[in-house]
Amino acid sequence: MVAIVGKVVIAIVIGLIVRWGWKVLNWTWLKPKKLEKWLREQGYQGNPYRLLIGDIKDLATMMTEAKPKHIQISHDIFSHCLPFDHHVITKYGNYFCIQIMKWSFMWFGPIPRIYVTDPDLIKKILSTPDDFQKPHPEPIRDSILGGLVVTEGHKWIKHRKIINPAFHLENIKSMFSMICSSCTDMIKKWELLTVESGSAEIDVWPYIDNLAGDVISRTAFGSCYEEGQRIFRIQKEQIDLMTQRLLTVHLPGGR
C-alpha cells in the first residue's frame, strides 16, 4: 500500500514538473520565437530574440553610456534621451518603402514591443482603446504612474471627466503667476552662478527636473507647497528605483 502511494506521489510530482517545465519553455522560448516569426512575416524588423533578456541588456548599456555625454544645443535630442530606440529605428526603419510597410520592434524580455510613430496611426490607436489595450498591469509601475496612464474602460472615462476641468483654459490662466514664480526662481539661481565670471556652464537638467515638481507643487498644493515638494522628492526616488528594476532580466515576481 505504501509503495503504491509512493508511486502515485512520484507520478504527480513528475507530472507537475513536466507541466511547469512546458509552461516555462513556452514562455521563455517557444512563444517569443513564434511571435518573432509572425512579426517578420508581416514586415516588422528587429533584433533576434535572446533568451529572457531580449534587448534589455543593450538598452541598459546604451542608456548608461549616453547619460554622461555632452550634446550640442539642438532640438534633436532623440538619440541622447532614448539612444536604444533611436538605434533600432535607424537600423531597421520606421517608414513606408515602395508600398511595403517597414516598422521596427524591440524585445522587452520575452515580450516584443512595436514602435509606432505615424501620427494618424497613433490617433487611431488612442481613439479605439478597446482594440488596443494597455500593457498588463505591473504593481510597482502602476503605484507610481496610476491614473489615465494605466486605467481603461469605465474607470478611464471617470478619471478623464474628473481631470478635464483642471486643464480648462481659464483654470490654466489662473496658474500663470505661480508658473512664472517657479521659472523666475530657477533663473535667479542661474544668475547667481554667473555673478563672478559673467558666464558659466550649467547642467540644466537638475533645474528643469525640479521645475516640473515645483510648478505642480505650487499649483496643485497651494499653501501646502512644502508638502508637495516632499511628496515629489519621495516619488522621484521611487521612479529612480523603478527605472533600475526595468533594466534587469525579466523574471515574474523578480521586480
pLDDT values of the chain reduced to their tens digit, one per residue, 255 residues:
667 777 778 888 888 999 999 998 999 899 999 999 999 998 888 899 998 888 888 888 888 888 888 877 788 888 888 888 888 888 886 544 433 445 788 998 888 988 887 888 888 887 887 788 776 656 655 566 666 677 777 887 888 888 888 778 888 888 888 889 889 989 998 999 888 778 888 888 888 888 888 888 788 776 566 677 778 788 788 877 777 776 666 666 655
pLDDT value, residue 146: 63
pLDDT value, residue 31: 93
The beta-strand segments (E) located in 98-152 are: 100-102, 105-108, 111-114
Say if pTM beats, i.e. exceeds, 0.85.
no
- Burial class of 54 by CB neighbour count within 10 A (0 to 12, 13 to 18, 19+): buried
Structural contact between residues 84 and 59, judged by C-beta atoms closer than 8 angstroms: yes
pLDDT value, residue 99: 39
Q: DSSP string spanning 65-101? A: HHTT----SSS--HHHHSHHHHHHHHHH--EEETTEE
Cell of 44: 516588422
Q: β-strands 100-102, 95-97: how paired?
A: antiparallel
Residues 244 and 233: their CA atoms lie apart, in Å, by 17
Residues 236 and 234: their CA atoms lie apart, in Å, by 5
C-alpha distance across the termini of the chain, in Å: 46
Residues 245 and 255: their CA atoms lie apart, in Å, by 6
Q: What angle do CA 239, 58, 255 make, to 5 degrees?
A: 40
The closest alpha carbon to 81, from 98, 63, 99, belongs to 63
Q: What angle do CA 26, 30, 32 make, to 5 degrees?
A: 105
Cα torsion through 39, 40, 46, 52, rounded to 10: 60
Q: β-strands 95-97, 105-108: how paired?
A: unpaired
Task: DSSP letter for 147, please.
Answer: G
pLDDT value, residue 187: 92
- According to DSSP, the residues that pair with 104 across neighbouring strands are 45
pLDDT value, residue 95: 47
